[in-house]
Amino acid sequence: MTVVGPFGLSVRDQALEADVQTGLAAVEAGLLDATKSDVPFITEAAQHLVRAGGKRFRPLLVMLASQFGDPYAPGVVPAAVVVELTHLATLYHDDVMDEADVRRGVPSANARWDNSVAVLTGDFLFARASHILSDLGPEAVRVQAEAFERLVTGQILETVGPRDGRDPVDHYLDVIGGKTGSLIAVSGRFGAMTSGADESVVDILTQYGERLGVAFQLADDVLDIASDSHESGKTPGTDLREGIPTLPVLLLRAQAEAHGRPEDLELVAMLDGDLADDARLAEALEGLRAHPALEQARRDTVRYAEEARATLTPLPEGYAKSALVELCDAVVHRAG
């Protein structure tokens, strides 16, 4: 049994391990190649987050999904490069919108250079992803375009907030379905599709990725409050300090509005105040860690991960299916 990929995923078959490791190494080389430019500064900016590392969760899912067809098919690795380039591009843009200073343990591109460089570098990565995508055929282009539309729609929905009368929690789940679920769904879809898997398998792995993506983001929401050291390189409470809505906070607000308990209202008021002071942020984190809203967010994370696992039922038994099931367990473990 060997540990590979994000979250210490254990692979119990040597052939599968070799395929995954070889595939991820090829993706890494492909990312460096795709981020090279004749302009040295563009190369430096475009490779800034590539070289900072990351979980490579989406390429891993592409590799595992390809096991249900021909994992050596020529489109598998380029498809994995496309989804990771797209993800990286969104990080450059997200950090500008969030005014983030740190990403993956290094200064964000906007902090190291400026907002214009960060936005344009993200655009450069989108362009390179599109160039690679064009070689995968019109169906792949269509799938990516639809996912990109959903991703941007999710970002816009987050920016404008819920419309009057809309449940903020339902709105938030729509947001992360677009921002996170869409691209992880494409990872499963591309892995199966480019490997030549049956259409039924492609559909199953798309649904699996969608649900796993939502669970993945909800686990991040829990980690931002519950962890001592954030896996993404952010310190705990980063989202709180930046005023980014997350599920535990939305659940707290809903409970405060529904029941009006003084302690809930006091905690909401603290979150709405200035959290720039480290001591005040620590007090807010302590309050949220003790609040039932955090445990409810954990339960919701588990529910989406279990839904992802359930979609796998029709797939043939084997090491690849077991690894996909373990990914569900790994996501839940992060929120534990």
> What ranges do the domains of the chain cover?
13-160, 198-335
* Angle (nearest 5°) at CA 178 between 253 and 237: 45
Parallel, antiparallel or unpaired: strands 102-103 and 9-11: unpaired
Mean pLDDT taken over the chain = 87
* CATH classification for the domain delimited by 13-160, as one of 1.10.600.10, 1.10.10.10, 1.10.3210.10, 3.40.50.1110: 1.10.600.10
Confidence of residue 10 (pLDDT cuts 50, 70, 90): low
Residue 181 is given by DSSP the state: I
d(CA 325, CA 311): 10
d(CA 241, CA 181): 24
- pLDDT tens, 177-207? 999 999 999 999 999 999 999 999 999 999 9
- 103-138 burial, b at 16+ Cβ within 10 Å, e below that, comes to bbeeebbbbebebebbbbbbebbbebbbebbeebee
CATH number for region 198-335 = 1.10.600.10
Q: Is 40 exposed, middle or buried (0-12, 13-18, 19+ CB in 10 A)?
A: exposed
Tokens of 35: 């981020």
> Would the CATH topology of 13-160 be identical to that of 198-335?
yes
Confidence of residue 30 (pLDDT cuts 50, 70, 90): very high
Most confident of the following: 102-106, 122-126, 199-203: 199-203
State the pLDDT at residue 230: 43
Share of the chain above pLDDT 70, in %: 89
